[in-house]
Structure 1
Amino acid sequence: MKILLLAGTYEARQIALRLGRDGRIDLTASLAGATRAPLPLDGAVRVGGFGGRQGQQDFMAAGGFDAVIDATHPFAHRISFRTHSICAALGVPYLQVLRPGWAATGADDWTFVADEAGVAAKVAANMTVFLATGPGSLAAIGQLPAARVLCRVIDAPEGPFPWENGAWRRGRPPFSVEDEVEFLRDEGVDLLVTKNAGGRGGWAKLEAARALGLPVVLIDRPPQPPGEKAESVETALDWIERL
Structure 2
Amino acid sequence: MPPHVLILGGTTEARELAAVLTAFPGVRVTTSLAGRVSRPGTVTGEVRIGGFGGAEGLARWLREERVDALVDATHPFAAGITANAARAAAATGVPAVVLRRLGWEPGPEDRWHPVPSLDAAADLLPSLGRRVFLTTGRLGLAAFAHLTDLHFVVRSVEPPEPPLPPRTEVLLARGPFTVDDETALLSAHCVDVLVTKDSGGSATSAKLTAARQLALPVVVVRRPALPEGVTAVPDAAGVLERLGFSPR
Range of TM-score over shorter length: over 0.9
| Unaligned stretches of 5+ residues in structure 1 | none
Offset at residue 141 of structure 1 (A): 4.6
Structure 1 residues 145 and 111 mapped into 2: Cα distance closer, same or farther (>3 Å)?
farther
Counterparts of 1:94 and 1:114, CA distance in 2:
27
Alignment of 1:190-209 (within 5 A): 190-209=192-211
Give the structure 1 partner of residue 70 of structure 2.
68
Counterparts of 1:141 and 1:60, CA distance in 2:
38
Which TM-score applies when normalising by structure 1?
Answer: 0.92
Asked if 1 retains the 8 angstrom alpha-carbon contact of 2:55 and 2:87, the reply is: no
One-letter amino acid matched to 2:223: R
Asked if 2 retains the 8 angstrom alpha-carbon contact of 1:120 and 1:142, the reply is: no
Residue 137 of structure 2 is aligned to residue 134 of structure 1: yes
Give the structure 2 partner of residue 178 of structure 1.
180
Offset at residue 93 of structure 1 (A): 0.2
Aligned-residue sequence identity (percent) comes to 36
Offset at residue 156 of structure 1 (A): 4.1
Give the structure 1 partner of residue 168 of structure 2.
166
67-76 or 220-229: bigger deviation: 220-229
209-218 or 143-152: bigger deviation: 143-152
One-letter amino acid matched to 1:28: T
Structure 1 stretches (4+) deviating beyond 3 angstroms? none
Offset at residue 13 of structure 1 (A): 1.5
Counterparts of 2:213 and 2:197, CA distance in 1:
19
Give the structure 2 partner of residue 37 of structure 1.
39
57-66 or 77-86: bigger deviation: 57-66
Deviations 1:67-111 (A, max 9, x none): 001011111011101111111100100100122221101111101
Residue 30 of structure 2 is aligned to residue 28 of structure 1: yes
Offset at residue 142 of structure 1 (A): 4.6
| Unaligned stretches of 5+ residues in structure 2 | none
1:86 to 82, 85, 88: 88
One-letter amino acid matched to 2:66: G
Which TM-score applies when normalising by structure 2?
Answer: 0.90
Asked if 1 retains the 8 angstrom alpha-carbon contact of 2:138 and 2:158, the reply is: no
SS in 1 for 2:31: strand
Asked if 1 retains the 8 angstrom alpha-carbon contact of 2:144 and 2:165, the reply is: no
Offset at residue 145 of structure 1 (A): 5.1
SS in 2 for 1:168: strand
Give the structure 2 partner of residue 143 of structure 1.
146
Residue 240 of structure 2 is aligned to residue 237 of structure 1: yes
What value does the CA root-mean-square deviation take over the aligned residues? 1.9
One-letter amino acid matched to 2:152: V
Offset at residue 36 of structure 1 (A): 0.4
One-letter amino acid matched to 1:212: L
145-154 or 93-102: bigger deviation: 145-154
Deviations 1:188-223 (A, max 9, x none): 111100011222222111111112211100011112
Give the structure 2 partner of residue 220 of structure 1.
222
One-letter amino acid matched to 1:116: L
